[in-house]
A and B are shown apart, each in its own frame.
Chain A
């Protein structure tokens, strides 16, 4: 989507390896979020950030860490990937002054852990 890009779009990795997903925005929004989407679960919040170096956990944060050293980049790291982390990962950004339309989402990263 305009203003937000995720990389890579697809990745296959082996169990036990570290993986980092990147979210990049050009909107200068303060809030950024990582969600995962799984069949039967909808979208679940992993971590979010409310500013540079300010992050907090969501409902499914175990096994994940995040970093935000610049406003425009929010990184999601799987320290040691497991098969249960096979999922589609979405990054989102939010303009804090506009609650009426919630987030803008990226196109997603499909991660397969084998």
Chain B
């Protein structure tokens, strides 16, 4: 069963506007959440993370929000740029399985000029 869910396979946003990518999880034992960005023919690269003791983490244009009660997190990109076009994976980890990351299926973001 998928423990991390990204229900939007794709998202299209205009350059300069906000991109919001959503992620839900089911396992209450997860205590670290991360976003990865992936370009074609490359491995995923780390973007931003948040610990379960926080509800917000910001890094430049990227902000991740965590709502533990709803088991929901979101990634905000402001302003969106064409170079942000990629697949974004939400991931979560806990103490189990060697802190292995559980990934969502990904959301393909297209930022149009």
Could you tell me which A residues sit within 8 Å of B by CB distance? 1, 31, 33, 35, 40-45, 48, 50, 56, 58, 90, 92, 94, 96, 99-108
How many of B's residues come within 8 Å of A, CB to CB? 25
Once the chains bind, are A108 and B101 in contact (CB under 8 Å)?
Answer: no
Once the chains bind, are B45 and A105 in contact (CB under 8 Å)?
Answer: yes
Known: A42-B103, A44-B103, A108-B42. 13 other contacts (CB 8 A): A31-B98, A33-B100, A42-B105, A43-B89, A45-B97, A45-B101, A48-B97, A99-B32, A101-B49, A102-B46, A102-B101, A104-B46, A105-B45
CB nearest neighbor in A for B1: A59
CB nearest neighbor in A for B46: A101
In the assembled complex, B51 has its CB within 8 A of some CB on chain A: yes
B83: shortest Cβ distance to chain A, in Å?
19
In the bound complex, how far is the Cα of B42 from the Cα of A104, in angstroms?
A: 12
Knowing A42-B104, A102-B34, the reply to whether A50 touches B51 (Cβ < 8 A) is: no
Once the chains bind, are B98 and A56 in contact (CB under 8 Å)?
Answer: yes
In the bound complex, how far is the Cα of B6 from the Cα of A35, in angstroms?
A: 18
Once the chains bind, are B98 and A108 in contact (CB under 8 Å)?
Answer: no
Q: Which residues of A contact B101 (CB under 8 A)?
A: 33, 43, 45, 92, 102-103
B70: shortest Cβ distance to chain A, in Å?
21
Q: When each residue 45-87 of chain B gets 1 if its CB lies under 8 Å from chain A and 0 otherwise, what string results?
A: 1100101000000000000000000000000000000000000
In the bound complex, how far is the Cα of B104 from the Cα of A61, in angstroms?
A: 18
Once the chains bind, are B44 and A40 in contact (CB under 8 Å)?
Answer: no
